[in-house]
Structures are given as C-alpha cells and as structure tokens.
Amino acid sequence: MKPFLAYPEALFTKPLLYGLEGSDSPFESVVDIPARIALQMSKPEKGKRIQPEEAGCAFLSPVDFARYGAEYCVVPNVGVSSFLPTDTVQLYVKSDIRNIKTMAVDIRVTSEIILAKIILMEKYPNEESEQDNVQIIPMLPDVNAMLAKADSALVVNLSPGSVPVSDAFKLDLVEEWEDLTDLPYVHGFWVGRENLTLAEDVQRLMRAKTEGTALVESIAEQSAAQFGVTALQAKDYIGSFVYDFGEQQSDSLKEFMSYAYYFGILPDIPEVNFFDIEDTPKPNRN
C-alpha cells in the first residue's frame, strides 16, 4: 500500500509536488483544504496503535504542526514561505472602523487566523483594551459578504486573484509579519512520523522540490488552466515564494509559535525536529 501525501490544492505547492501527483506517484494523494489536512496526521484513538498503512506525510501550516509537534519530524530544507507581499493572506477592514471587534475568517485555513490575531494585537491593538479579543466569525471567502457580517475579513488566496477584490482598506499580513519580525512568513512544510516515514519517502520529497523549483516556468504553464490564470500569472505567483526551509524559516516558525503561546493560543511550544535521513527507518513496505 502506498503511503499517503496530504496537501492543499494551492498553486504555491506545485513546485514541491513535481513527479508526485498522478497514478504513477509513489504516494496516495489526499488533497484537501488546509484546515482538514492535519486530521491525516492527528493522534489515533486512545489505545489504538498507528498501523504501517497509515504512514505518510502532510503539508502542515505552522499552527497545525505546533498542536502535535512533539510527534512529528520536519522534512529538511523543504517548505513554502514568503518575505514580500504575495496577496496570499489579506485582511480587509471597513474604512470607518477604528477598533476591530469582529473578524470574519476564511473557513479553509488555520494558521492565518492566528497570524491575523498576532498582527492585530501587536501592531494594531484596539484603543479599548477590553475589546482586544476579536470575535471570530467563520465564513466562506467572499469579501463583501464577510464585511457585511463583520468589521474585518480575513481571506487567503491559494492562487492569484482567487478571492474577489474589495475597495475596503487592506493589510497584507505577510508584509506585516515581516515588518514585525524581520522574518519570512512560513505558509507550510512537509512533516511525517519518525517511526513510520521511510528514508525513501523523505528523499522523494526533497528531490521533488529540487527538480520542481528548477522547472517553475513549465510547472506554471501546466498549472495555469487548473487555477484559471494565465501562465505568466502562475509563474509570477510561484516565483514570489521561497521553497527552502532554512534557518530563517525555522526561526520564523519558532517566533510564530512563541507568539501563539504568549497569547494563550498554544499550551506549549514544541521543539522543531528534522528528519535525519541516516536514522530514518529502512524500506519494508509490501
């Protein structure tokens, strides 16, 4: 049985998936919204052992990793992050609002909600301290409908222009995070369970990234129609992300988890452990 590979249907993941999609893939693809992908990697029922056929890797956001971080290892040097505005994480605010009391959020995402809270509390706190806890209203990503229900609207574009624009005041939260921390915002990265993930699976993910990032133009051309954009739009969009997971990305992940812990969102701050290829279990799948 093939190990699963869980990831969102987002254009920015395509360079990481080179050669890993389709019927001849060494993985069984599980494509879902980011908010549900963590379920593929979540704890088994109490008293139930994880079976070999449940082995696999998932593309997790920072907060989904943090919730179960002690159980996961991160695939080295592979991830998606951005230093500059990419129009991926946007917070729209009504022009007449000075203190944000309600925020409609895109139901597909998780970490971006925490990111919005961090930015609002650190950089744009309400003048009335008792109103610092913004009420969250989960909704589908329709900016105008969201702003009809709330003071602000958090939307995530998983491809260029996938959410209609609005004339409301807009904050690019990637830019705001970089301004706050001098670090890139980490959108996600591959994780697996150390005792179930094989060396060959980790190496495949690392190799896919190396090959995919060298073929951005070709990948953009192949992906454009799927996401309803031109090849040039797809190329520019993919090119605005960084696909390494190095020291800056690791520092950013730790900073994000520290903020989430400080504001009471996380109960603790897990260590970030990377796969050691030499110590990864040897192949033994049927």
CATH of the domain at 169: 3.40.190.10
Provide mean pLDDT across the span 21-27. 88
What's the pLDDT score for residue 269?
Answer: 93
Same domain, 37 and 62: yes
Lowest mean pLDDT among 77-81, 196-200, 221-225: 196-200
What are the phi and psi torsion angles at 7 (to 5°)? -160, 160
Provide mean pLDDT across the span 50-69. 80
* 52 pLDDT above the threshold of 50: no
* 116 pLDDT above the threshold of 50: yes
The pLDDT tens digits for 142-163 are 899 999 999 999 999 888 875 5
Provide mean pLDDT across the span 34-58. 63
> pTM to 2 decimals?
0.89
How far apart CA 92 and CA 103 sit, in angstroms, is 9
Question: How many domains are contained in the chain?
Answer: 2
166: confidence class by pLDDT, cuts 50, 70, 90: low
Domain boundary among 181, 216, 251: 181
Same domain, 169 and 131: yes
How far apart CA 151 and CA 154 sit, in angstroms, is 10
Cβ contact 251:272 at 8 Å: no
Same domain, 194 and 60: yes
| Cα dihedral 236, 238, 244, 247 sign | positive
Between the alpha carbon of residue 269 and those of residues 78, 131, 149, 181, 226, the distances in Å are 21, 26, 34, 18, 38
How far apart CA 187 and CA 203 sit, in angstroms, is 21
The pLDDT tens digits for 228-274 are 999 999 999 999 999 999 999 999 999 999 999 998 999 999 999 99
As a residue count, the chain comes to 286
Same domain, 62 and 190: yes
Could you tell me if residue 164 is inside a domain? Answer: yes
Same domain, 63 and 129: no
Q: What is the dihedral of CA 199, 111, 239, 3, to 10 degrees?
A: 30
68: confidence class by pLDDT, cuts 50, 70, 90: confident
Q: Are strands 89-93 and 169-172 parallel, antiparallel or unpaired?
A: antiparallel
How far apart CA 73 and CA 180 sit, in angstroms, is 28
* 283 pLDDT above the threshold of 60: no
When computed from its CA atoms, the radius of gyration of the chain, rounded to whole angstroms, is 19
Provide mean pLDDT across the span 197-218. 94
What's the pLDDT score for residue 50?
Answer: 42
Structure tokens at 283: 């192949």
* 196 pLDDT above the threshold of 90: no
Cβ contact 193:41 at 8 Å: yes
Domain boundary among 181, 201, 222: 181
Structure tokens at 251: 């520092």
Same domain, 195 and 76: yes
Same domain, 147 and 175: yes
* 58 pLDDT above the threshold of 50: yes
Domain boundary among 149, 181, 213: 181
Structure tokens at 154: 């958090």
Structure tokens at 115: 């990111």
46: confidence class by pLDDT, cuts 50, 70, 90: very low
* 165 pLDDT above the threshold of 50: yes
Domain that holds residue 140: 89-181
Average pLDDT in the chain: 87
The proportion of the chain whose per-residue pLDDT surpasses 70, expressed as a percent, equals 88
